[in-house]
Structure formats: C-alpha cells, structure tokens
A and B are shown apart, each in its own frame.
Chain A
Amino acid sequence: MCGTCGCGHTLIKPARAKTTGGALNFRPVSGTPEAGAAVPQTPTSEAETRRIKVERDLLAENDGWAGENRARFGAAKTLALNLVSSPGSGKTTILVRTLQELRGKVPLAVIEGDQQTENDAERIRATGVPAVQINTGKGCHLDAVMVRHGAEELPDLACGVLFIENVGNLVCPASFDLGEDAKVLVLSVTEGEDKPLKYPDMFRAARLMLLNKCDLLPHLAFDAELACANARRVNPDIEIIRLSATSGEGMDDWLAWIARQQAA
C-alpha cells in the first residue's frame, strides 16, 4: 500500500533519479480486501440484515486530494494546467513548443499521463524541462492522488507553471478534479466540428480551448467557425485560441493567456 495516502495503487517509484526516468505505474485496485477489512464469510441463516445509511460522495476522496493539491500549488504560487483532449490532437507537440518558449523565464515541470510508455516524458525531457511519467495501466484518466505522487517527484515550482498532460480521452478525465487551476482542452482541426456536442462534459469543464493544427485548414473541409460555435454552445464562457504548434501561429496568444493566469 502507498505510504503517503494509503491508496491501494501499486506504485513503482523511479529507481533513484527524481525526474530523469522511471515511470510511476498505477494498476487498478485488486478486488481483494485490504488487511483489516471485513472478510467474506459464509452467512449464517440467522444473520440479521441491517440497513446502513451512508450518504458519501463517490468522488469525495478524489476531491479531497484535489483540494490538497490545489492548496499546495496555491501556496507555492504554481499555476497548474490540466491539458485534456482525444488522442492525437497534438497536446505533447504544443507542450514541447510552449516549454521551449517559456524555458529560462519561469520554473517549469510536466506530469505526463499515458496508459503505457514513457515516450511523452522523454520528449519533454529533451527540452530540458523535468517531467515525470505516470502510467495508468488500464486506467483511462489521471486522478488527484496520481498527480500528488507525480508532483512529489518534481522540483520546487515556486511562481512557475506545472503542465499536467492527461490521458488522451475526451470522456473520463472530465469527472476527475486534479487540483488544477484550469483545464485546457485541445481540439485539432483534423477532428470533427461536432466534437463539443458529442463530448459536452469535457468542453463544459474546460476554461480554454486550443484549436490546434490550424496550419492544415487550407487543406481540410473543417469549419473552424462551426467548431467554435459548438464549443460555445456547450460552454458559453470558454475562451478559444486558434493555434498551430507546427507553424507557431497563435503561440503568442497562448503564452499571453498563461501569463494572465499566472498574474490572476
């Protein structure tokens, strides 16, 4: 069992290097009760059935850890951004370019979430920015405890920016607060304009949408106006920046947005 929070996750710590290698692996909790839990027993026929009022929120445990993360980030004046999208939208490419722009100006670090491989963390580390990889195994999202563990592996980020790249998935990560300041949703123009209508929960949860790969627009039938209208239909307050991590279009707006969040 994890010594920090008592979670049932199997946690494999990086061998020694804090940020240079070794993924944190999380596996689904096994169905076996923990030591001390009531063990299934053959019920006796005279066993009395009782009704126990519980009234506990299923996300309360996650939300508790998210609150702790938020308090820690707040105390250190660390801006924490949770990047969410479907797989292949270009989150990592945006991150690499963003880190190259911000490096040397503010403290930076990245928590990478994927089911398998350390490929993304290696791409991040190539920029010189510390990164920790969390492998969720069969898990489809990061949760607040994973982020807590990941953040413990990273250097102090006073007045800096922590980017959390969630597992590529437009459904599940919407429900799990990580303690971030904002969710940043990446939609690429190689996807459908109706993604916001198909996956409204995520678009509703996001503060900013980055419409990525805009350099490809001349070659596609994608209607960017319609995509933005659909996003606003689901979330009237969502901010939108059109971007290309390849050409650099919109990067200034994105960096200015980050600076505004830091100042807020």
Chain B
Amino acid sequence: MNGSVSATINKTEAGSLKKTSIFKDVKNFFKKLSVQKALVLMCAPFVLHIIIFNYIPIWGWIMAFQEFRPHLGIAGSEFVGFRQFITLFQDQLFITVLRNTLAMSSMNLVFGFLSAITLAILLNELRNKFFKKLVQTISYLPYFVSWVVVANLVISSLSPVDGIINRMLMAIGILEEPVLFMGEEGYFWWIVVFSNMWKNVGWNSIIYLSAMSGIDPELYQAASIDGAGRLRRIWHITIPGIMPIVSILLIMNLGWILNAGFEQQLLLTNPLNMRVSEVIDIYVLRYGISMGRFSLATAAGVFRSVVSVTMLLSANALAKKLGSDRII
C-alpha cells in the first residue's frame, strides 16, 4: 500500500523522477510477491509445466520453415522459408477445411453460449431444489460420454431406415419420406451443432449458474419491490450480473476458434458430407502426419497458433474498449 502511494506521488512530479518510480514499481512487485509467497509457490509447478511443455517446444516451429525429414533431424533438414505455408494456402482443400472449421466453431460458439446461458437462467429460476438438482445432473451427464459413443448414437438415430428422428418426423407428418440426414451437406453443420449442444450444455451452464448464485439477492428484492416482473428481473439483474464471466469465456473461446474439435468430425464424416465435414485437424492428420509431411503439419499448427493469439488479443482489446471485463 505504501509503495503504490509513493509511486503515485512520484508520478505527479513530472519527468525527472520517472526513473525512481519505475524502480519503486519493481520493488513493489517483489514485495507483493514475498507477501504472497505461499500462493506463488503453489502456482510454481504449473507455471513451470506450461513453460516446459508449451513455451520451450516453440523452437520446434522452425520445422515449419524447413523440409523436415526425420532421419536428417532439424539440423540437417533443408531450409525452405515460407514454402510450406504457400503450399498450404494454395491447396484448395485446405481453404475448404479452413472454412469448415471456422463455420462449425462459430456456430458452436454462438449456440453453445446461448444454450448454456439460457439453461442456467432457467435453472436459476427454479425453486424446487430437488428438481433443479435432477435436471442439472441429467443435463451434464452427456459431457462424460465419449464422442465415439455419441457419434454412433447420432448416426443410428438419423438413419433413414429405422432411425428415431425420421420415424418421429414422419409420424407427426412433417416428412413424407425418410431423409438421409447424414448424407446431405446442408444438414451436417447443424447436426454437429446440436449434438455438441446436447453434449456440452449442462457442463457449460455450471459456471454461469455459480456466477448467478453470487449475485446479491437484495438486488432482486429491490427490483421486485419496484415492480419488476420475472422477465424484467432476469433481463436487468441476472444477465448483467454474469456479463463479466460471459465476456471472459467469450474471449477465451474466440482464441480457440480454429479448434472446431477433431473426434466429432472424424467420426461423423462420410463420403457424402466430406466436403463440409473435414476440419483442419483431419487435414493435418491425413495430408501431413500420415504422409510423413511433418513440415506441412507444423506449418498448419503455426498458422493456427498465430490466428488464435491474434483473435485473443483483439477480442481482449475490444472488451477493454467496451469497458467490459477482460482477461489481460
């Protein structure tokens, strides 16, 4: 506390005392560190872990600028500059999978958020504790089921011969003939979005629910005294109350925009929908790693990291501008 006050005082005296204020800032930093040393020690293993497994391997990015051959090693492989990236972007297939990835990611993002928040709001309004817990448990159980099982479920239920969806729609009268859902390109992204939603909505809503429980109940009371109905209370209290969490998660998820998932698409892809179902990960696997073109695979990874960091920082800056909570 002392340190920051003196730093402020120093700053108001223009120019010549700038050096000492920086020195003071550094000193303050270390002082805070020592006061919180227990916490710092607890963080240390994980920070170390990230440095070793996530930062140090970055030097391997040099493979993306080479024509890497395993038996020559990195030192012996030929340096080719941006050739791998050019190959990547000239490949029509890569552009297609990029489009697919972005499309599925953004759709998942939008629907994932909407569905999780909606579910959280609805659950929050429930009074019956038992029913609330029951719904919560049922809703997040699918999260733990592996994609292999879910993909099989999806394919079976969409089957035109005896799948449940077709039978239901025909019984209601919406369809006259069964539709081969898995074979139509137009349906695929929606199938992905909805199966994703079904699988993740419960789990994602947990964090919003816990944020909502942190909202001061007095606000609700004050609002109802002022005559706000249930919907108004939700709109004016609950939603703004979870906005910080929403924006933080949104920023984080924007950073993952080029990761539309891998198992899900791999398991649901078939010759009829392959043009819209293959994502960057599948492309990298088939045309990069399985063919031994490690450099190409690395180049795709580098591209993805660069885009992720850019998206993250931009989203963060935007949030800052809008005055909303942010990560950095």
* Same assembly: no
